Amino acid sequence: MASAIYLHIPFCEQICYYCDFNKFFLKNQPVDEYIAALRQEIQMYAAQHHPEEPITSIYIGGGTPTSISTDQLAQVIEGLSGAFPLSPDAEITVEVNPGSCSDEKMAMLKKTGVNRLSIGVQTFDPELLKAINRDHHPIDAKKTVELARSHGINDLSVDLMFGLPNQTMEQWNDTLKQAFELPVTHISAYSLKVEPKTVFYQWERQGRLDRPTEDLEADMYNQLVSGAVNAGFQQYEISNFARGQYQSRHNLVYWNNQEYYGFGAGAHGYLNGERYANHGPLPKYLKAMESRERPTLHEHPVPLHEQKEEFMFMGLRKISGISLEEYQSRYGEQVAETFPGVMDELVKEGLLVMDEDSVRLSSEGKLLGNQVFEKFLLGN
């Protein structure tokens, strides 16, 4: 059974050029109906949840959860906390866009038990913010951090992006400097991926997207890693850094290949050995809930060989890597038996480091993660 919940609020006030998440322009959307359906979905799953297994993490993402009204968002959070047993120290995160959270909304978040925010800063460069169609100004990020802290929400994560169109090393260094100076506990930083069905995808096809070279992007990543460590963060995953004990408990559920509920349009979940994805389009999601059916588009019972693959490539994202003993106790055989020769080959190529207890990515391997992960596909 799962002890983590992901919940999706698919509304945004502006659509970013790189975004391929399941999201809809907020204006004229049936938000109240969506919230009623969400609460119904929550109840449907909660009725089957084992009452003695407390939920240890909730992550409300989007979309922009703070784009809906204070009352609507409160209904969602209270719907969850009223339906599931929560661990007293549960991590409850809400994604917030800089400037999208009023004083009143922040007070409600604190009151309903939210204790962590993930703030979509992306860059502190005003021109780059415009170039990716974010609707905030750099100063909004700092104001949101201050506002959260003034309400006693101190576990704050900042999301950054690099490899943006025309982004220079100087701009990236400036963003890093400003991010490191903030009183935040966590940083996530990802390079731009150009995904189908995005504005950037169209531009790339038309030859209008000027992206940094792979070498520059690698330098940006190295700058991130060394700068974060100098600023008192510990890298615990390829793209994630925490001060003190503030690692994202929720994301560790994914990297440890554990199960979780997924609620809302387009949400993914992993329950009882089955991965599932909900309908993305609102009418389909709402219709399924109206008929009191699970709103799933597809369900996929994960066969054993896939569980082993996922354990490897999710776990190798962590800096501590995977525990050889844990693999053996989960699957009754050693990693080297499932993937003969693979680890030795990757160690020889300098992409993996192995000792008696664990195997993990080398510095080079962190840059070439996908090259490593594909070696752990069993293909059967």
Positions touching ligand SF4 (CB under 6 A) are: 12, 15-16, 19, 21, 23, 62-64, 97, 120
Residue with smaller CB distance to ligand SF4, 18 or 246: 18
**Residue with tokens 């974060």, as numbered in its chain:** 228
Residue with smaller CB distance to ligand SF4, 82 or 126: 126
- Sheet order of strands, 55-62 included: 234-237, 240-242, 186-191, 155-162, 116-122, 86-96, 55-62, 4-9, 261-263
The torsion of the CA quartet 233, 257, 265, 54, rounded to 10 degrees, works out to: -90
Residue with smaller CB distance to ligand SF4, 69 or 133: 133
Residue with smaller CB distance to ligand SF4, 79 or 120: 120
Could you give phi then psi for residue 49, rounded to 5 degrees?
A: -75, 140
Shortest Å, Cβ 13 to ligand SF4: 8
Shortest Å, Cβ 120 to ligand SF4: 6
Shortest Å, Cβ 184 to ligand SF4: 19
Determine the residue with CB nearest ligand SF4: 19
Q: Under a CB-based contact definition with an 8 Å cutoff, are residues 116 and 251 in contact?
A: no
User: Which of these, 25, 28, 36, lies nearest to 285 by C-alpha position?
Assistant: 36
- Token code pair at residue 372: 């490593």
Residue with smaller CB distance to ligand SF4, 16 or 194: 16
The residue length of the chain stands at 380
User: Which of these, 112, 85, 103, 195, lies nearest to 149 by C-alpha position?
Assistant: 103
Shortest Å, Cβ 15 to ligand SF4: 5
Shortest Å, Cβ 277 to ligand SF4: 17
